[in-house]
Chains A and B, each alone.
Chain A
Amino acid sequence: MSSTDIGTFHSVARTPYASSAEAEPPVTSNPADGPAWSNVKAPDARSQQSSTVTVTNGRRALKVFLSNPNALFGTSFLVFVIVIALLAPVLYPDDPLSMVGRPFLWPGQDSAFPLGTDSLGRDVLSGILHGSRISLFVGLTATALGLTFGVLVGSLAGYFGGWVDDVLVRLIEIFQTLPSFVLLVVLVAIAQPSATTVTLAIAVISWPTVARLTRAEFRAIREKDFVMAARSLGYGHARIIFREILPNALPPIIVTSSVMVATAILMESALSFMGLGDPNVVSWGSMIGTGRELVRTAWYLTALPGLAIVFTVLALNLIGDGLNDALNPRFSQDR
C-alpha cells in the first residue's frame, strides 16, 4: 500500500464515467464502427480549446456531485460512520477492552451482544463502534497535516521554480522512492506507537503525493495571464500564491484528499494489525490482529471489523470518484 498509488489512481481516472445525463447512444449493429472521430469536420470547424483556466463553478460541481448515486451513497455512509464515532461513548460508555460477557459468543447468539464476543469476553460491537473513533481521528488528522505540508511544499516549488524547485523536487523524490509502508513502520517503531505518532507518521508519508500534484498545478497556472496581471499590480508572492493561484489549483487537491483519508485509514489499520498501533485504544486493525489466531473457530472476529474498514474506505473512494467527476472538466468530443 502506498500513497503514491492513490495519487495516480485518480489522476488516471480523468476519463469520467458517463453519468446518466450524458449517456452514450445505443450501439449500432456494427460495434466496430463506434467511436466518435474527433476531426470529422474540416479543421476550421473544430471548436477552439480554450487556453484560459476553466472556472470551476462550485454550484454546478455540487449539483453534479449530488446527482451521482455512488457519491451520495458514499457520503451518507461516511456521515453514518461519523455519527457512530461521535455517539460511541454515549451508547457504550464502558471501555471496549473490558470483559463483559461470556467469551466466544457468535453474532446473534445473545441479544445483549449483537455481534458476539471475543476470546476474552469483550463486546465486538462496542469494539467496532469505538474503533471508528480512532480510524476517523487518524484518517482525518493525518490527511489534514499531510495536505497542509504537501500543499505548502508543492506551491513553493511550483511557484518559485529555480533552485527552490530543484531542492524540493529532490526531497519529494526521496520520499516517494522510500517504500511508504516500510518507512511508516520504521517511523512508528522508532517513535514508540501511540495515536499521535501514528498520525504524524502517516502524515509524513502522505505529503509527497499532494506536493507533487500541487506543484504540477502551480506550474501550469503560473503561466496564466491573470497571474501576470497580479504581478504587474505589485502583489506580493504570498498574496499571489494564496489568493490567486491556490483557489484555482484546488479541484484536484480536493479529489486527492478524500483518497488520502482512505489510505490513512488503511495504513492505520495495518499498523494496528501488526501491533504498532496505540496500545491503549481499540482499533479495527487491532481487533483483526487479535482475532487472527482464531480464524478456524471464531472467524467472525476477523470478518466483522474488516467489513467495517472495507465499507468506510469504499465510502471515501466513492466520494473521491464523485468529486472527480464533479470537479474535473470533461473532455468534450465534438459530434
Chain B
Amino acid sequence: MAPLLHVDNLTIRFPRAEPVSNLSFEIAEGETLAIVGESGSGKSLTALALMQLLPRAAKVASGRIRFNGRDLLQLDAREMRRLRGSEIAMIFQEPMTSLNPVMTIGRQIAEVLKVHERLSGRAARKRAIELLELVRIPAPEKRVDDYPHQLSGGMRQRVMIAMAVACKPKLLIADEPTTALDVTIQAQVLDLLDTLRRELQMAVVLITHDLGVVSQWADKVVVMYAGRKVEQALPGDLFNDPLHPYTRGLLAASPRLKNDFHYRDGALTEIPGSIVSAAGEAGCPFRPRCDQARASCGQRVPQLTIPAPDRLVACPFTSSIKAVPHAAAFSL
C-alpha cells in the first residue's frame, strides 16, 4: 500500500547553512512516526517544510514531499492553502502564544471550519463545542466564549488540537506538543492525541526530544542528527539494540529508561561536545563527538544501510551490541 506521506531526499538551505540534508522517510495511514533529535537537528524545520511554512530565508534546495500522491513542493499557494488545516494539520510547541489573544477560542476553532467546510456561523459554533468536548475540555458550552488567557497551558494545547483535527486531517504534525507542559498534563495530551489518531484514522508525525514519549506512543522512530537521518527503527528495536553511536549516547544519557539503574551504580554518560561541532564536517556529522570515530569517518557522509528488517542506520562501523559479550551502551 502506498504510504500516505513520502519525504524523499529533502534538503533545506539557509544562506549560510544546510539545516536539513537528504532526509527521507515514510508514514503510512494511521501510523505514528516519531522524529527524535536534539535542538538544532532540523526536526522543526522538517515539520514546517511539510506544511510549506518555512521562514522566508529558508529554501528547499532539493527533494520531494509526496502526500497522497501529490508533490507538495510543486503545488501553488492556493492548492497548498486548501490542504493546510483540512488534510494536513499542525500543532505547535508553545500553547501560551500560539493562540490569537483577542479572539475567543470558539471563534478560532470555527474559523477553520468556515474556511474549509464552509459552515455557517451557527453550525460552526456548534461543531466547535463538539470539538471542545472531543478534546475533553470540561463545560465546553461555557468555555467556547473564553479567551486564551483564561485557560491553562494544557487546556490551550487541547484547543490547538481541536483546531487541528476539526476537519479530520489525514496527517497531523505535532511539533514538541508537550514540551512546554507539566509532566502530568503531558501524559494526558499524548493520550488524547493517540485516541484521536485511532478514531480519525489519522497519521501523526510526533516531533520530540523526549525518548520516554517515543517509547510509549510511536510506531516508528527516526533519529535525526544535524539535519540527517542517522537511524530508523521500531521503538522496541531501538531501545533494546541501538545501532548508531549517537542513539546509544542518547539512550545512555537518558535516566528515565534505565529503570533499574540507580545513581549509586555509576555516573550518567553524556555525549561530549555539542551539535554545533557538526558544522563544516565533510564526513559524518557526528564524528567530532563519536568515541568510535575512525579516519574514514571524516571523508564521506555515511549512507544509510539496512542491517535488519525495518531498520536503517547511517554508520558503517556499528554492529549489534547483542553480538558483543560485555558491551554496554551504559558505561560504568
Contact = CB atoms under 8 A, between A and B. Distances in A.
- Direct A–B touching in the complex (beta carbon < 8 Å)? yes
Interface of A: 24-25, 27-30, 32-37, 39-45, 335
A254 to B, nearest CB: 33
Contact of B56 (A25, A42, A43): A25
B44 A33 contact: no
Which has the most chain A C-beta neighbours within 10 Å: B45, B53, B179?
A: B53
Interface in B45-103: 45, 48, 52-59, 76-77, 80-81, 93-94
A45 B39 contact: yes
Contacts of B55: 34-37, 40, 335
Contacts of B48: 37, 40
B84 to A, nearest CB: 10
Given A25-B56, A45-B39, A335-B57, A39 B93 contact: yes
A43 B39 CA distance: 8
Nearest to B14: A335
B325 interface: no
A200 B76 CA distance: 64
Q: Chain A at the B interface: mostly helix, strand, loop or mixed? A: loop
B298 interface: no
A34 to B, nearest CB: 4
A33 B176 CA distance: 21
A42 B15 contact: no
B77 A35 contact: no
A32 B54 CA distance: 10
B94 A39 contact: yes
A35 B53 CA distance: 9
Q: Chain B at the A interface: mostly helix, strand, loop or mixed? A: loop
Nearest to A45: B39
Contacts of B176: 42
B39 A33 contact: no
A36 B56 contact: yes
A41 B179 CA distance: 12
Contacts of B80: 30
A32 B79 CA distance: 13
B209 A42 contact: yes
Contacts of A44: 39
A43 B94 CA distance: 10
A125 B59 CA distance: 59
A27 B81 CA distance: 18
Nearest to A334: B55
Contacts of B58: 335
A29 B44 contact: no
B45 A43 contact: no
Contacts of A30: 52, 77, 80
Contacts of B45: 40
A133 B125 CA distance: 68
Nearest to A36: B55
23 contacts: A25-B15, A25-B57, A27-B56, A28-B56, A28-B59, A32-B81, A35-B55, A35-B56, A37-B48, A40-B44, A40-B45, A41-B39, A42-B38, A42-B39, A42-B40, A42-B44, A42-B93, A42-B179, A43-B39, A43-B179, A43-B180, A335-B14, A335-B57
